[in-house]
Amino acid sequence: MPAAAQLAVDEAVKSALADPLSGEPKVGALKGVRVVKFKVGPLQLLLAYQFDARRNLVEVLDVGPHENFYRELQKYLDAR
């Protein structure tokens, strides 16, 4: 991953840690997952995470471009 992309991912993770409820909440099969969108140059990336308020824990699930992002995230969640 290029350095600029890694820095952008790090910033997105830091923003999720600073305010875990800032991400857009998903519904349906992805209920409980929140997504933050951010750009790296012209490319828009998504960061999916879950926040457990009881344990005050943010779990990063996936980072990637929008194409097939939610389908692959659903597969990952179903498999665990």
Report d(CA 36, CA 13) in Å as an integer: 9
How many CA atoms, within 13 angstroms, populate the side-chain half-sphere of residue 39?
3
* pLDDT bracket for residue 4 (50, 70, 90): confident
Instruction: Report the mean per-residue pLDDT for the chain.
Output: 94
Q: For the segment 25-42, what is each residue's pLDDT rounded down to a tens digit?
A: 999 999 999 999 999 989
Instruction: Concatenate the DSSP letters of all residues of 18-33 into one string.
Output: H-TT-SEEP-GGGTTE
| Domain coverage including residue 13 | 3-79
Alpha helical stretches, state H, 1-80:
3-18, 69-79
Task: Select the more confidently predicted residue: 80 or 1.
Answer: 80
What CATH number has the domain bearing residue 22?
A: 3.30.2310
Residue 36 and residue 16 in contact, taking contact as beta carbons nearer than 8 Å: yes
DSSP 8-state code for residue 2: -
User: Residue 1: is its pLDDT beyond 70?
Assistant: no
Q: How many domains does the chain have?
A: 1
Q: For the segment 56-75, what is each residue's pLDDT rounded down to a tens digit?
A: 999 999 999 999 999 999 99
